[in-house]
Amino acid sequence: MTMPASTRAPRSYPRAKTPSQSHGILYDSSDHFSVLTQLNGSLWPRIIVYCFANVSLMVIGRYLQEEYYKDLEISDEGHNFIAVVVAFLLVSRVNLVLSRFDEARQHLGVMYRETRELISSMAVLSAKGNDDEASKKWRLEIAYRALILLRTSMAVVDYPSDNIAPWNLPELSGEELQNIRNNSYLNPDVRCLAHQQRTEFEESMRVPTWIGYLLKKSICSHSQRLQVPLTAMHETALLASVDGFMGGYYGIRKFLTTPVPFPLIQMARTFLFAYVFTVPFVLLGDESPLLAHCCQVFILTYGFVGLELVAIELDDPFGEDANDFNNLAMAYTTMEDTYLTMRDVDGPEASRKLRERLREVSPNEREEENLIWNSEVTEATELLGRADSC
């Protein structure tokens, strides 16, 4: 018997039980036991080594004091003063790292947001009166170049950890790949324009800038390729999205090329280790049981060294560590949103073509594509350091 429409059970869809871990370590802040014992993302395995090392120093110091050296302890007056300096430096370092961590996430968010806004604005503003094949091809080109701009930016972010240059990405192909190869300073034809020798990482950082330039050229070609060209205001809006994206990318470049000043790191860590690993000698002047001293040393080491390890962990939020941003997974989410937009404006075939262009090619395919390029890179390497004329 069919149920009335008003009482019919709602249709259910399969849904993930928990959020995706691609957006960070999952934990329940209200569950104290879970927070204290969770190992995923925890620094316990790294901190406990320092804790046991300092406890061992406490035990050895007590043994030497009782058996050989009666005056092994040190005064706690100077030690108490150093504790204030260490606490100040450590708190300052953690605050600085947290601000950098938040800054990096904001720049990533800008790039994801502007990519989505560019695609959705392009689809809406160019849809009316532009349903011919030339217009669809223009939209497909805009979508691909916007996504490959995002993908190459993620490659720059991940280069320090995986050493994959943007021009070796499987998603980069066709005219865009050839354009990058022809306009790289590894190309012998343009090598003479460089002021000095650059690393592969420095060359990699140029790729998104060039893709952004190609994307702007595609946007400005609307007057020749669309049946109903965009208005000047609409064109400016699309170019503004590209500018917003590049602002986020340049922020990431600044983050990657401007680490925390080394003297501050060196000074803070020197004071930290000098303070923490002399605590056992200060406690030798106290008559409390050895077990009480060992517990005190363990907790103090966990607190001070633990905060320093947290700062080290968050200082570089890109890579493969548990607490790093899974920036590539978030970029793929943006790509999936773009497929849906293209499917809505130009149909399933357009979204399929876009997804196909961003496919992961096999190693054999990429190897064949790179044969000529590799020979050019070899030749360019031999020319490094020369003052060739153009």
* Predicted pLDDT at 21: 53
C-alpha distances out from residue 344 to 28, 164, 222, 331, Å: 38, 34, 20, 20
Asked if 107 and 299 touch (Cβ cutoff 8 Å), the reply is: no
Q: Which two tokens stand for residue 1?
A: 């018997």
pTM of this prediction?
Answer: 0.83
What are 153-185's pLDDT values in tens digits? 999 999 998 899 999 999 998 899 988 988 877
b/e sequence 52-85, b meaning 16+ C-beta within 10 Å: eebbebbeebbeebeeeeeeebbeeeebeeebee
Residue 119, burial from CB neighbour count under 10 angstroms (0-12, 13-18, 19+): buried
> Is the per-residue pLDDT at 242 higher than 60?
yes
- Of 363 and 38, which is predicted with more confidence? 38
Model confidence at 68, pLDDT cuts 50, 70, 90, reads confident
Instruction: Taking residues 63-88, report their average pLDDT.
Output: 82
Helix or strand or coil: residue 325? strand
> Is the per-residue pLDDT at 32 higher than 70?
yes
Q: What percent of the chain has pLDDT over 90?
A: 51
Helix or strand or coil: residue 104? helix
* Predicted pLDDT at 189: 79
* Predicted pLDDT at 375: 59
* Predicted pLDDT at 227: 93
Instruction: Taking residues 61-72, report their average pLDDT.
Output: 83
What are 178-219's pLDDT values in tens digits? 889 888 777 777 878 888 888 889 999 999 999 999 999 999
Mention every residue, 6+ apart, whose C-beta is less than 8 A from residue 68: none
What are 244-293's pLDDT values in tens digits? 999 999 999 999 999 888 998 998 899 999 999 999 989 888 888 999 99
- Of 355 and 198, which is predicted with more confidence? 355
